[in-house]
Amino acid sequence: MNINTYGYMRVSSADQNEDRQKIELLTWGVPAGNLFCDKLSGKNFSRPEYQKLKTLLKKGDLLVVKSIDRLGRNYLQIQEEWRYITKKLEADIVIIDMPLLDTRRDKDLLGTLISDIVLQLLSYVAETERQYIHQRQAEGIAAAKLRGVRFGRPVIPLPKNFKEIYLRWKAGEISLSEAADHTNMSKNQFKWAARKHRGFNRRS
C-alpha cells in the first residue's frame, strides 16, 4: 500500500504569510508537493484546500499540522473532523506542537483515550474562553453606555434643503440621481436618510 504524508496550513486572511508553518512542515518531512493551504477563517471547515485534502486521504495516510488552531478554532468541529479522519478514513494525524496528539503512537485503547481526553480538554478551554470574551465585551459595552458613549451609526446632519428635495423626489418630480445631486449626497446616502428620517419605503 502506498502511504502518503500530507501537510495542512491555514492563515486567517490573504495578506498573512504561511511561511513559518511551511518551514515547520517541510522540516518535519512533509513533501513540498503535498502541502495544502487555506487563507480563510478557522471558524468552520468549509475551506476548499482542506476539503480537497480530505478527498485524498486514505487508510494509513498521515496528516501533519503545526498546531491545533491551524486546523480550526471550533474545537467541537475539530473533534468531529478528528474522528472522521481517524475512524472513518483510518488515516493518522500529527499535531507538531502537541506531541500527545499523534495517533501513530499507542494504537490501543489507552492511546485513543489520551487523544480523546486532550481534545475534550481543548474544547472545554476554548468554549470557556469564548464565554469569558463575550462576558467581557458585554460588561465593556455596559460600562461605556454608563459613561455616555453612543454606539451604532453616527447621525448624519441633513442638508438644509433635504426636506424640499425629498418631497419633490417622492412626488416623482425629480429622479434619485437628481435628488442626490441637489443635496450633495450619494444616492445611497440619500436613500438611507429618506428611509431613516422620512419612513422611506419607495424602491429606487
Summarised one tens digit per residue, pLDDT across range 35-59 is: 999 998 877 888 999 999 999 999 9
In CATH, what number does 5-125 get?
Answer: 3.40.50.1390
Q: Which pLDDT value is given to residue 203?
A: 43
Summarised one tens digit per residue, pLDDT across range 128-142 is: 766 777 787 877 777
Phi, psi values for residue 69, rounded to 5°: -75, -15
How would you label 161-188 residue by residue, b for 16+ Cβ within 10 Å and e otherwise? ebeebbeebeeeeeeeeebbebbebeee
How many helices (H) and strands (E) the chain has is answered by 8, 4
67 is catalytic: no
Q: Which pLDDT value is given to residue 157?
A: 76
Of 12, 46, 175, 204, the active-site residue reads 12
What residue segments make up the domains of the chain, in order of their start?
A: 5-125, 162-197
DSSP characters for 62-118? EEEES-HHHH-S-HHHHHHHHHIIIIIS--EEEETT-TT-BTTS--SHHHHHHHHHH
The segments of the chain whose pLDDT lies below 70 read 1, 106-112, 123, 125-127, 129-130, 150-156, 197-204
